[in-house]
Homo-oligomer: A and B are copies of this chain.
Amino acid sequence: MSDMYETNLDKNQANFTPLSPLSFLKRSAEVYPDRKSIVHGDRVYTWRETYERSIQLASALNKHGIKKGDTVSVLCFNTPEIYEAHFGVPMIGAVLNTINIRLDIDTISYILEHGESKALITDNELSPVVKKALEKLDKKILVIDVDDKLANHANGSGENLGQFNYENFIQEGDKNFEWDLPIDEWQSLALNYTSGTTGLPKGVVYHHRGSYLMALGSVTAFSMPMHPTYMWVVPMFHCNGWGNPYTLTALAGTSICLRYVSAKNLFDAIADHKVSHFGGAPIVLNFIAQATDEEKRDYSHKVNVVTAGAPPPAATLEAVQKMGFDVTHVYGLTETYGHISLCAWQDEWNELSVEEQSKLRSMQGVKFPMMDGLSVMNPETMQEVKNDGEEIGEIMIRGNCVMKGYLKNKEETEKAMSGGWFHSGDLAVMHPNGYIQIKDRSKDIIISGGENVSSVEIENTLYKHPSVLFAAVVAKPDEKWGETPCAFIELKDSNDKVSEKDIISFCKETLAGFKCPKKVVFTELPKTSTGKILKYELRESAKELA
């Protein structure tokens, strides 16, 4: 560039501000102080209150020694506390680590250890598991209990494990605590663990810049207007609820919390609160399509639904469209802050049959506006596949909503981003119109009820069983859950009387319930001449079993 445009035209305080989604909360509290921010049962907050409670959380954490670069973990249902943590934790430069509440003791304690958590905010409905996870830690950490009166303690939960109750804790915080945006927009904002190719979860690190752009890019591509009413079905522990705590704050929308997802709860929220938007795994569409007349409620408005994961069956899509739900299919990974592609609707599709529309609607589609690249490539050559809907390659992603990397895992980080693209591990084709469509996942991930399950993790468990010689776990298509884990086992002694039930019970001892195989098949496993198990054949068998 010529000197003319370089001289004396530098960044200064007036013309440069680091991008951070925290800025949205300040603005919404200033511009819409009395608008409803969050509704949870009879708890109703305004933006002024959500801002104040977030600042108080930041201040209280600060008083208890949490500082910039520290990790604060959260194990919560979709309640106001986890929403507030999305702001209160990074307000002091700390990093928010939301954890899947369905994980088992070992995985939770692994995450707390690996992420070096300094504090944990935990719902006391989870106390039986969390108590044991905390006991496994070498060091005692600050624990803050969320005691939600809507919790179900039928399983004997409800024990407070920490030094503080959340409400008392934030009361310690100062409403006038001075917080600031990060100096560097690349600063870490969140740490989200994902099941990858290995059994051990990897810590995916997000930055402020990425979450800011995720929010504005979502608003744009989804045509989201100001002040939507959003129903919380997607857990906020999944990719930070796909970034929606930030998106909704930018729009000063109203969050309707759903602690438990059921057809009745969904319809009640839609009818009572005039829900305009929500996101969820395809299984949620099944709830809706198959709801009984007692569960259904009358409403007359359109509901915009974003669904991620395995594409919902055409029949389900058709049924919910008729009920006033407008479904957009998206794709993304924990490593990409959630959705980075969507099946953008084309006007000319309006002319097609519902069946053809459903087929189109199930494609993973095109990149979001905040992304730089979405392609399908041969991972060896990094050449794009032909856009013929036939040639299979790996989905490659680049742009500002790709993670900083995996925490303390240089090798996997470099591998995942080699050649200047993030390697998704998902196999897909590209259609002539540039839309991508997933054909298979190379990463051995099973998506059950919206949860990622690593087949390798289950296999590792199975191999610990004394009777198992070889084990391979693949996805079995399932009407309710989308997919469930299906285990194929070759026994050391083919006369061994070990049963399906024995194997499942064995898994339940150490794995979270949703990770346990729902089906076990005893058989000689198909293998290559070099002994590699042919998972492709097993997937075909699992499909036939479905």
Residue numbers of A with Cβ under 8 A of B are 1-2, 4-5, 7-17, 19, 23-24, 27, 30-32, 35, 68-70, 93, 95, 116, 181, 186-188, 205, 210, 213, 216-217, 219-221, 223, 225-226, 250-251, 344, 346-347, 366-367, 369-370, 372, 397-400, 402-405, 407-408, 410, 413-414, 417, 420-422, 434
List of B residues within 8 angstroms of A11 by Cβ: 186
Alpha-carbon distance A402/B13, docked complex (angstroms)? 10
Across the A-B interface, the 7 shortest Cβ-Cβ residue pairs: A13-B420, A1-B69, A2-B69, A223-B225, A9-B404, A15-B402, A17-B372
17 more A-B residue pairs beyond the given contacts A15-B405, A30-B366, A31-B434, with a C-beta to C-beta distance below 8 A: A2-B68, A4-B408, A7-B408, A9-B407, A9-B413, A14-B402, A14-B417, A15-B400, A15-B422, A16-B400, A19-B213, A24-B369, A27-B369, A30-B434, A216-B219, A216-B369, A221-B226
Can you give 27 contacting A-B residue pairs, CB < 8 Å? A2-B70, A2-B116, A4-B116, A8-B405, A8-B413, A9-B188, A13-B417, A14-B398, A14-B417, A14-B421, A15-B398, A15-B400, A15-B402, A15-B404, A15-B405, A15-B417, A17-B398, A23-B369, A24-B369, A32-B344, A32-B346, A35-B347, A181-B372, A216-B217, A219-B220, A220-B251, A223-B225
Provide the bound-state CA to CA distance between A417 and B30, in Å: 24
User: Closest CB of chain B to A501's CB: distance in Å?
Assistant: 43
Query: Is A68 touching B226 in the complex (CB atoms < 8 A)?
Result: no
- State how many angstroms separate the Cβ of A191 from the closest Cβ of chain B: 8
Of the residues B9, B70, B223, B417, contact of A12 by C-beta under 8 Å: B417
Nearest chain-B residue to A409 (Cβ)? B8
Taken together as a complex, chains A and B put the C-alpha atoms of A315 and B399 apart, in Å, by: 49
Q: Is the CB of A69 within 8 A of B5?
A: yes
Contact indicator A14/B188 (Cβ below 8 Å): no
Q: Are A399 and B17 in contact (CB under 8 A)?
A: yes
Q: How far is the CA of A216 from the CA of B10 in the complex (A)?
A: 23
Taken together, the copies of this chain in the complex come to 2
Chain B hits for A15, CB < 8 A: 210, 398-400, 402-405, 417, 422
Choose one: B2, B4, B220; the contact of A216 (CB below 8 Å): B220
A300 to chain B minimum Cβ distance, whole angstroms, is 20
In the assembled complex, which residues on chain B have CB atoms less than 8 Å from the CB atom of A17?
A: 372, 398-400
Which residues from chain B contact A400 at a C-beta distance below 8 Å?
15-17, 19
- Taken together as a complex, chains A and B put the C-alpha atoms of A163 and B422 apart, in Å, by 47
Docked-complex contact B5 and A95, CB < 8 angstroms = yes
CA distance A186 to B15 in the complex (A): 11
Known interface pairs A216-B217, A398-B17; A372-B9 also in contact (CB < 8 Å): no
Question: A181 vs B400: C-alpha distance in the bound complex, in angstroms?
Answer: 14
What are the residues of chain B within 8 A of A225 when measuring CB–CB? 223, 225
A32 vs B372: C-alpha distance when bound (angstroms):
16
Closest residue of B by beta carbon distance from A70 = B2
Query: How far is it, in angstroms, between the C-alpha of A188 and the C-alpha of B7 when the chains are bound?
Result: 11
Residues of the B chain whose Cβ atoms lie less than 8 Å from the Cβ of A346: 32
Tell me which of A7, A15, A251 has the highest count of chain B C-beta atoms within 10 A of its own C-beta.
A15
Pick the contact of A220: B250, B347, B370, B403 (CB < 8 A).
B250
- Cα distance, A519 to B259, chains bound together (Å): 69
Q: What is the CA–CA distance of A367 and B30 in the complex, to the nearest angstrom?
A: 10
Given the contacts A9-B413, A366-B31, A223 and B226 also touching, CB distance less than 8 Å? yes
Query: Which of B1, B4, B27, B68 is in CB contact (< 8 Å) with A407?
Result: B4
Q: Enumerate chain B residues within 8 angstroms of A219, measured Cβ to Cβ.
A: 216, 219-220
Residue pair B2, A420 in contact (C-beta under 8 Å):
no
- Alpha-carbon separation in the docked complex, A417 to B205 (Å): 35
Nearest residue (CB) in B for A396 is B14
- Residues of B close to A116: CB separation below 8 A: 2, 4
Q: Which residue of B lies closest to A402 (CB)?
A: B15
Contacts of A13 on B, CB cut-off 8 Å? 398, 417, 420-421
A366 to B367, CA, bound (A): 32
Contacts of A417 in B (CB 8 A): 12-15
A400–B221 Cα distance when bound, in Å, is 22
Question: Most chain-B Cβ atoms within 10 A of its Cβ — which of A31, A400, A414?
Answer: A31
